[in-house]
A and B are shown apart, each in its own frame.
Chain A
Amino acid sequence: NAGVTQTPKFRVLKTGQSMTLLCAQDMNHEYMYWYRQDPGMGLRLIHYSVGEGTTAKGEVPDGYNVSRLKKQNFLLGLESAAPSQTSVYFCASSDDFNEQFFGPGTRLTVL
């Protein structure tokens, strides 16, 4: 089992460009999450999904959109990137109320 995988691992964008981060899990988990990690801030929840076709806002959703068209995939989109979105992005998945399993992260720099 690969667990949770994220694509790409690194990306550099210019302000105003768009991109999509892909998260895939092979554990048949219902719940999936997108977090961003900034120094001293821990991980902050951007959006999450409780099942295929569902999405909901987390703590810091502004500037991001998500889609969960297939149970195993959770996409995070940036329509118009800003320097404030420079961060490390982590995807996670879980069964209902069990611990979350995290991917290796995507380091995004917006110039």
Chain B
Amino acid sequence: DQQVKQNSPSLSVQEGRISILNCDYTNSMFDYFLWYKKYPAEGPTFLISISSIKDKNEDGRFTVFLNKSAKHLSLHIVPSQPGDSAVYFCAARRDNAGNMLTFGGGTRLMVKP
């Protein structure tokens, strides 16, 4: 039973347009959410995070939105660049589980020049 799901395995967008990556979760005990980016043959790198007490967090071209009632979060990348092409994982942390993360299955983003 996957507690964190990324229902789109892949997404293709044109350079300069907006990329929207989605993530759904089922466990209401999750209180902190993160997005990681992964290039081939490399480890995941932290991108952006959001606490459950907020509904938006922005860092440059990257914005994460959290809708707690829908148990849904999304990552917006504006404008998208070819270097953003990678696999994106969302992850969630429970408030009573130390720093253990539960990851979604990932979405492969392809940004076309």
Chain A residues proximal to chain B, CB less than 8 Å = 4, 31, 33, 35, 40-45, 48, 50, 58-59, 90, 92, 94, 96-105
Binds A, one of B53-61, B67-75, B76-84, B97-105: B97-105
Q: State A105–B44 Cα separation when bound (angstroms).
A: 9
Residues on A with beta carbons closer than 8 Å to the beta carbon of B45: 102
Inter-chain contacts of B102 with A (CB < 8 A) = 45, 59
Given contacts A41-B105, A42-B4, contact A104 B99 (CB under 8 A): no
- Say whether B34 faces chain A, with CB atoms less than 8 Å apart: yes
Q: Count contacts between A and B, CB distance < 8 Å.
A: 57
Give 16 A-B contacts (CB < 8 Å), ordered by A residue: A31-B99, A40-B9, A42-B103, A43-B91, A44-B103, A45-B102, A48-B98, A50-B98, A58-B100, A90-B44, A92-B43, A97-B99, A101-B46, A103-B43, A104-B41, A104-B42
B19 within 8 A of A: no
Are the C-beta atoms of B44 and A102 separated by less than 8 Å?
Answer: yes
**How many angstroms from the CA of A99 to the CA of B35 in the assembled complex?**
10
Q: Using an 8 Å CB-CB cutoff, how does the interface string of B25-63 with A read, 1 for contact, 0 for none?
A: 000000010101000011111100100000000000000
| Residue in B4, B32, B43, B103 whose beta carbon sits within 8 Å of that of A105 in the complex | B43
Complex: how many Å from CA A13 to CA B91? 31
Q: Please indicate the chain A residues that have their CB under 8 angstroms from the CB of B41 in the complex.
A: 104-105
| Distance between A43 CB and nearest chain B CB, rounded to angstroms | 4
Residues of A within 8 A of B46 (CB): 99-101
